[in-house]
Amino acid sequence: MNDNNENTAQQTDEDEFSVRESVDLTPDNADFFESEGGLVSMRLRTEAGEEYFERIVAVRAFPVTDPSEFICIRQPDIPGQDKGAEIGMIRRLSDFDERSRGLIEGELHRRYFSPRITSIIKIRNKMGYLYWDVDTDAGKVNFMVKDPSSNIRILEDGRVQVRDVNGSCYRIDDPKALGRSSYKKIEMYL
């Protein structure tokens, strides 16, 4: 009896330190739906019972190489309270029906905002800083890139990532497909 008591006490102690067990999320155990606030809610069924999360956050494990697989579903960080813990991982997004996929993709889209550059109007090099004027699928933007050799990243598959001084990201899926005049403007920085 006594033994037992101590055991449970220790069990709760440990809970404070151990992270929650992450589960594999499949259409069988997870339901996603739009929350009242326009974000994504989720209901999770495990052996222990059913859990409801008013808001979940989706994070890609391999945002660059594998954007639609290995998606982590986490609780949001609530300031002054807890760091959000991982609820589970979606192995393949394609396992889910269109509605859930749309919700999660929307959430991912919010998190990984990186306008696609559709044409380059002008790149001015002023004392080693590049001022870009570009057209993107999110509208016309201009931004400043410091230290171009490290902030213009070429990925293995030929895509290009540009990070400006404010931390915003822009991408070019295929520099050559931008057209000749645009390509000539960035060629020298690749």
Partner 1 sequence: MKMLCNMPQGAAAAFERAAGGESLRYCVPFDLYEDRVADGYIACTDRHIYKIVADEVVKIYDLSRMSAFSVETMHGSCGFYARDGSVAVLICRFASRRYVSAYYKLAAACDELAAARRPPEFRDSPDEYCPKCGRQYIPHTSICPFCSSAGTSFRRLWSLAKGMRWRMVLFPALAAMAAVALRFAIPAVQKIAINRYIYPPDGVQRGMIDKFLVLFAAVLFIELAQRVMSALCEWVGTRTGNFYAQRLRDALFDKIQQLSMASVSKKSSGSIIGRINRDVRIISRFMAVDLPHYISQIFSFLLALVLLLYISPRMCLFVFIPLPIAAFCIFISRKKLSALYRRVWTLEIRADDTLQDAFNGIRVVKSYGQEDRMIDAYGRKSETFTAFTERSHKFQDTVFPLIGFIVRLGSYFITMFGYAWLFRGTLDLGTLNQFSSYSGIIYEPLTLVSVIPRTIAQFAASAAKVAEILEEVPEVTDSADPADIKIKGDVRLEHVTFGYDSFNPVLKDVSLDVSAGEMIGIVGLSGSGKTTLINLIMRLYDPDSGRVFIDGVDVRDISQRSLRSQMGVVLQQTHLFSGSVRDNIRYAKPDADDEQIVRAARIANAHDFIMRLPEGYNTIVGDRGYTLSGGERQRIAIARAVIHDPAVLILDEATSALDTETEKLIQDSISRLVAGRTTFAIAHRLSTLRNADRLIVIDRGRIAECGTHAQLLAARGLYYKFVMVQYRALIEKD
Q: Which amino acid is at 97?
A: D
Q: What minimum distance in Å lies between the beta carbon of 7 and partner 1?
A: 12
Measured distance CA(148)–CA(123) in Å, rounded:
12
Of the two residues 29 and 35, which places its CB atom closer to partner 1 in the complex?
A: 35
In the shown chain, the binding pattern of residues 16 to 35 toward partner 1, with x for contact by CB under 8 A and - for none, equals xx-----------------x
Helix (H) or strand (E) holding 7, with range, is helix 2-17
Measured distance CA(22)–CA(129) in Å, rounded:
44
Q: Does 127 bind partner 1 (CB under 8 A)?
A: yes
Tell me the two tokens of residue 135. Answer: 């057209």
Among 45, 91, 111, 176, binds partner 1 (CB under 8 A): 111
Q: Does 146 bind partner 1 (CB under 8 A)?
A: yes
| DSSP code for 93 | G
Of the two residues 38 and 49, which places its CB atom closer to partner 1 in the complex?
A: 38
| DSSP code for 84 | P
Tell me the two tokens of residue 1. Answer: 């009896």
Contacts with partner 1 by CB under 8 A lie at: 10, 13-14, 16-17, 35-39, 54-55, 57, 63, 76-79, 109-115, 124-129, 131, 136, 138-141, 144, 146, 148-149, 165-169, 184, 187-190
